[in-house]
Structure 1
Amino acid sequence: MDELQRTALVRTKALLKQAGHHFGRPAPSVAINFELKGQAAGMVRFPASGKAQIRYNAILLNENADDFLKRTVPHEVAHVIARAYHGGKIRPHGTEWQSVMGFFNADPTRCHSYDISRSSTRKFRRFRYACHCCEHLLTSIRHGRILAGQRYYCRKCKNPLELVVSADK
C-alpha cells in the first residue's frame, strides 16, 4: 500500500468515525481495498452476510489525488452510512445519501469526470448488426450469445438483429 492509499484509508476511517459520533452510534465496520479496475472511481458492496466493502480504483486515485480524496472517498462512505442508518431500501443517490454528503461537506454528485483512458481495462470488439430501421454495434459478448442461439430485437421496430459485417470501434 502506497502513501496515497494510506491517506485514502485514513480519510475513509475518519469519515466513518465522524458519522458515528454525529448519529450517536458506531459506524459499521468496513473492509477497504484498492483493487477496483475500469471506469468507476469507487464502489461499495453490501454482501448478504459480513461487512460492507469499499473498493477504490488505485489508478484514478493516483491520477486525481486531491479531488478523489475530497469527492470520491466521502461519496463511497456516504453509501455505507446512509444504508447503515436508513436501511437497505433507500435509493443509492437519494435524499438520505445526499444528506450524509451534506454532513461531510461534500458535493453530492453521482459521477466523476476523471480521465479513464489509463484505467479502463476491457476493450470489446464490436460487431455490426442491422434491423429494418437502423444499425446497431454489439459487443463480442452479445455477438457470442447470438451465435449460441440467443436473439436480440430492435427496441424501435421490434425486428430481430442480423449480422451485417464486423467492425472494431
Structure 2
Amino acid sequence: MQQQILERIEDCYQQAEAYFKRAFPRPTTQFTLRGRSAGTAHLQQNRLRFNPVLLRENSEAFLAEVVPHEISHLLCFQIFGKTKPHGREWQSIMLKLFKISPNTTHNFDTQSVKGKDVEYRCACGPIRLGIRRHNKVLRGETRYLCKRCHTHLTLA
C-alpha cells in the first residue's frame, strides 16, 4: 500500500507541474504518523507523514483524498508562501488542480487509533482524561478542574 501512496504522490506532482507549468521538488514521505490524523504536511521540510493504520483501513480514500490534501499544503506553501492552512489558496489548489472538495478533515473511523484514556472523578461524577493529560497529572505538572462543578479531578 505504501508503494501505491508513493506512486499517487508522483502522479499528483506531475499533474501540478503540468497545471502550474513549473517544477516542484518531491517531498520526503514517511509512514510514521500516529493518532487520529490521517496525514500531515511539514511545509519547511517539504515532508509528508501518513498514518499507516488509517491508511490500511481506508486505502481508497487515502489515494483519492488524503494524498492530494497534504500535497496541496506543500504546493500552496511553495507557490504562495505562508498562508492560512486551509485558506483560499489551498482551497483553490484542491478545487482547480485536483478537482476535490476542499474538506479540512477526514471522516474515518478512528476507534482503532484512539488513544487510551483514564477515569478521574469530580464532585459531579466520572470524567475521562486522555493519556497525555493523565501523565501530566502523574508527573505533578498540573491539576485539572471540572468545567461544571469546578472541583479538582482525582484519579478514580
1:123 counterpart = 2:116: yes
Aligned to 1:24: 21
Determine which of 77, 93, 99 is the counterpart of 2:86: 93
Aligned to 2:75: 81
The CA deviation string for residues 52-95 of structure 1, in whole angstroms up to 9 with x for no partner, is 1111122222222222211111111111111110112x111111
**Separation in 2, partners of 1:46, 1:27:** 13
Aligned length: 154
Going from structure 1 to structure 2, the CA distance change for 1:149 and 1:66 (only over 3 Å counts) comes to: closer
Residue 117 of structure 2 aligns to a residue whose secondary structure is coil
Going from structure 1 to structure 2, the CA distance change for 1:155 and 1:57 (only over 3 Å counts) comes to: same
Going from structure 1 to structure 2, the CA distance change for 1:33 and 1:128 (only over 3 Å counts) comes to: same
Aligned to 1:163: 153
Aligned to 1:108: 102
Going from structure 1 to structure 2, the CA distance change for 1:67 and 1:139 (only over 3 Å counts) comes to: closer
The CA deviation string for residues 116-167 of structure 1, in whole angstroms up to 9 with x for no partner, is 222x16313232245xx9975433543453462535456678x5x413452x
How does the TM-score come out when normalised to structure 2?
A: 0.81
**Separation in 2, partners of 1:59, 1:30:** 21
**Separation in 2, partners of 1:155, 1:21:** 53
1:150 counterpart = 2:116: no
Residue 125 of structure 1 aligns to a residue whose secondary structure is strand
Percent sequence identity over matched residues?
Answer: 34
**Separation in 1, partners of 2:61, 2:136:** 40
**Structure with a larger share of its residues in helix:** 2
The answer to whether the Cα contact below 8 Å between 1:129 and 1:137 also exists between their aligned partners in 2 is no
**Separation in 1, partners of 2:46, 2:133:** 32
The answer to whether the Cα contact below 8 Å between 2:145 and 2:153 also exists between their aligned partners in 1 is no
Amino acid at match of 2:38: A
Aligned to 2:40: 43
Going from structure 1 to structure 2, the CA distance change for 1:113 and 1:165 (only over 3 Å counts) comes to: same
1:65 counterpart = 2:80: no
How does the TM-score come out when normalised to structure 1?
A: 0.76
